[in-house]
Amino acid sequence: MSPASDTDSAMQTSDDAYEKFILRHLQHYGLFTGTPPPRTSASSFNRWAVSQDSQSDTHSPDSPDSNPDEEQDAEKTFPLHRHKPLRTKQLLIDFDGGRPIPRLREPRDLFAIPSLSSPFQGVRWPVECDITVGDIQHIEWDPPEAEPFFQCTGHERTPMPVGEEKGNIVYLINPATKTAHFTCSRVGGSQGPIKNAHCSSSQEDPLPLSFESRFESGNLQKAVQVGVHDYELTLRHDLYTTKHTQWFYFRVQNMKAGITYRFTIVNLLKPSSLYSAGMRPLLYSDHAAREQGQGWTRTGANIKYYRNNREQDDKPLYSLTWTLEFPHEGDSCYLAHCYPYTYSDLQRYLCSVVRQPNTAAYCKLRVLCRSLAGNPVYVLTITAPSSSLDESHVKQAVVVTARVHPGETNSSWIMQGFLDFLLGDSPDAFLLREMFVFKVIPMLNPDGVVVGNYRCSLAGRDLNRNYRTLLQESFPCVWHTCNMVKRLLSEREVVLYCDLHGHSRKNNVFMYGCDSKSRTSVNLQERVFPLMMSKNAHDKFSFRSCKFKVQKTKEGTGRIVMWKLGIRNSYTMESTFGGSTLGNRTGTHFTTRDLKSIGYHLCDTLLDYCDPDATKTSQCLAELSALLRLDIRRRLGPDSNGSLGGLSVSDIESSTGGSNSSESDGPPLNLVNIPHQKRHLRSRKERDQLHRKPSSVHGKKTQDMLAMVKETEKRQKVEATQQSGSAWSHHHSSQAHGIYHNTGQEGSLEAVSTHNMGRAGAHLCGGEAAPSDPHGPVNGAAVQQSDPQDRQVHPIHMAAMTLCPRIRASQGQTSWICHDFHSLRLD
C-alpha cells in the first residue's frame, strides 16, 4: 500500500477534525509515511531540536501557552520523516517518550506582546535626530531627610544674556528641524555622520565644561561661555515648533571641584515659575552614585527667575539662573528640571512586570497602538480572573493615563507607584483587582518623551487638546485611547478616569474635575473623591487647590472629553514640580518616594470611595456643604446667606490655570504645511461656528447668522432684482417650496429649518440655490428646532429685516441682502 493510501486510510478512520488537518499538513510537506516509526535515540532527538531551533522565530516552541492533546490515544502513532528539515514554521513537534506528537504553532497577536522570549523593540527616533549617548540609567534613591526650598534673599543676580557675539560657543547641536514637520523615523535616529557639537577654545583659557544632550529626553541645544565659569544655556524647543521651553535635561563633564559655576537658561517662555517660590534644580553625579549609592539631589544657590531683555515672536523671554559647586572633579553629572523618566525606563519596568510569573493571572500587557514614530503605546489590563462571564461584566472599570505631556516626568513616578501597589500582594490590592477592571496607559506620548519635548507630540501639537480629533493617523495615541474608553463604556460602567500631569506654577498635588452645572448635590458628589484624596494624603494633596470649572478653551482635554462620554468622576491630577506647603512637609521638595506614594493613596481613595458602607461619603458631603457655604459668603458677601441663587458651584471658582496650550491646538503640522493646498483647511473654531447648534445667547446666534451670510456671499454670485420690498417679499414667500410658512400675519415668516437654510439663503439673496456644504447643513440664526427648555420659537418678522442695496458698478445691477440681524427675535 502506498503512503498516500495510508494517509487516506488514517484520515478516514480518524474522527478528530484537528487530527485530519494535521495529517493533511504532514502529507503536504512529505512527512507522512506508512511504516512504523523507528526508535528515537538521544542523538537523533538533539539533531531534531537543533533543526527546529534554526527554523523557529523568537517565540519558543515549548511555550507554556501550548496545549498538547493529553487525551490522545497512546496507541495512535504516525511515522514521520525526520531526515530533512521542515519547510514550514507553522508545525511544531513534541516528543513523548520518543513518540513525535505534531501540533500547530499558536497564532501571533496583532501587536507584539513583551515577554522573556520576545524583548522590547528599539526606541525609534525621527531621522533628523543625532544620538551619541546610548541608554542612560540612573539609580533610584531618596534622601534621608526632606530637602528644603531655596530661601530667596532678594539680592540674587539677574545676568542679562550676552550671546555668542561676545561669548564662546562650547556646545551647539543640530536643532533637528530640517523639515517643517515629522516625516519618518528609525531606531537610533540619524544614519549620517554625526557632527561634533563641542567647540574648541584657545589654550590660554581654562578648559571649558563639556555639555551633551544627544540622548533620550535630553534637550539642550546650545551652551555659550560668557565668563570663566559662567555659561548661557539655550534649550531646544519642542520638535517642529518654536514654543514650550520648560523641561531641561543635559550632561556636564570636565568640571573642577570647589569651583562655583553659574548656569543661566535664557529662552524660557513662561512668565512665572516655581523657581520664584524656592524650587531648586536637580543634580545627579555618576561618581556619587557609583561610590556612595546616592542619586538625584536638589542643588543650586542664588536661584532667580526673571524676564530678560530678549523677545521671540514678539513675546518676552525669561531666564533662570543658579550657581553650584560640583562634588567631584572630572565627574559626569546630569542636571534636570525634574526626576527623568524615559521611554526606556518604562520598558524596563514593564519587562520586570512581565517576568513576574504570579502577575500573569491578573495583568495583561498589550500594545494599544503605535505612535507617529512607530513606538508602541502600552496598555495594561489588570483584574482578577472571573469565574463566569456575568461576573466579569458586573465589575466596574477604572482608567488611568499619564505622560500625555512628555516633560511632566513626575506623573510617571506617580504611575509607577500606582502600578506597584495594584500589582502587589497586599489585601487591598487583591480587593481592588476583585472589584475593578483597570485599564492603564503609562505613557501616552512616547515620541515626545524620547526627543525631550515638554508639551507636544511629533505632530507639533498638544495631544491634551485633541481628544476629540478624527485624525487617527496624526494623533493615534489619544484617538485610540478615546475609542478604548468608548468600547469599555459599552461593556461596563467606568467609575473613575484619572489623567496624571505635572504643574509648574503651583505646589502640592490637586485635581481638576468637571462640574455638571445642575443640582448642587450632584456638584458636591463630584468633589467627594478629591476630598477623600486630601484626607489620605493630608501633607501632599491640597483640596483647596482643586477646581471643577469646565472651560471652553479646554474642551479638547481628556478630562472633559471623558466626562462628556459619561464618566462622572473624570479628573486631571496635577502634581507639582516643587514640593509641599502642607502639614509637617511645609517648604520641602517632593522626592520620587513622595511621588510614588501619591499612586498608593490613589488606590486607597478608590477603596474608600467605593466602600459599600457610605459613612465616609456622607461625612464628606456634609463637610463639602459647610465649605461651600463659607466659600459663598467669602466670595459673594455675607448677604448671600450661603445661597448660590441661579449659579452653579463652579461659577464662583476661578480658572483652572495651568499652561495655555491654545497656541499648540489645531491641525497637525503635516497638514498645515502642505504646499499649494487646493482646499482651505478650516480650523476647529471655524468648523464649530459652522456646525454649532443654536445657543440661547443672542450674541452667539447673531454671529452664526452673520457667518452664514458671509459664507453665502463667497460661494455664489448674487442675481440682480429690481422689485420692491413688498413685491420681493410676496414673490419669494410664494416660491419657497415649503421653506416658509405663513403665520397669518402679513409680512411674517416663521423660522427656517436647518435642512433648507442653504436654499433659503439663496432665495433671500435673489439667486440660485447654494450648493450643499460637504460638511453638512449651514446652521443659521433663524433655525426651527426643539428647544431644550420647551420655549416657543418666535417668528421672524419681515418688518425687522432691512433690505440694503449692493451696487455692482460693472453690471449696473442691484442685489439685496439682509444686514440688520440685531433686531431679530432669536430666542
List all residues 6 or more positions away from 398 whose beta carbon is below 8 Å from its beta carbon.
436, 437, 438, 439, 494, 495, 496, 497, 498, 606
Query: Are 752 and 740 a contacting pair, CB within 8 Å?
Result: yes
Shortest CA distance to 116 belongs to which of 278, 410, 354?
354
Compute CA distances 20 → 12, 242, 712, 798, whole Å.
8, 65, 70, 83
SS3 string, 679-700, reads CCCCCHHHHHHHHCCCCCCHHH
Shortest CA distance to 458 belongs to which of 238, 641, 140?
238
CA distance 168 to 262: 15
CA distance 529 to 620: 9
Establish whether 164 is a catalytic residue.
no
Grouping H, G, I as helix, E, B as strand and the rest as coil, residue 11 is: helix
Please give the DSSP secondary-structure letter assigned to residue 97. T
Q: Which helix (H) or strand (E) holds 321?
A: strand 315-325
Catalytic option among 128, 232, 574, 711: 574
Q: Which helix (H) or strand (E) holds 815?
A: strand 813-818
Residue 487: half-sphere exposure toward Cβ, Cα within 13 Å = 6
Mark residue 31 as left, alpha or beta (left: phi above 0; alpha: psi -120 to 50; beta: remaining). alpha
- Residue 148's identity, in one-letter code, is P
* Number of helical (H) and strand (E) elements in the chain, helices listed first: 20, 28
CA distance 554 to 620: 28
Residue 468: all three cell numbers together: 476629540
Residue 447: all three cell numbers together: 515620541
- Give the count of beta carbons closer than 10 Å to the beta carbon of residue 654: 9
Compute CA distances 121 → 217, 249, 476, 489, 804, whole Å.
18, 24, 19, 32, 68
Q: Known catalytic residues? A: 574
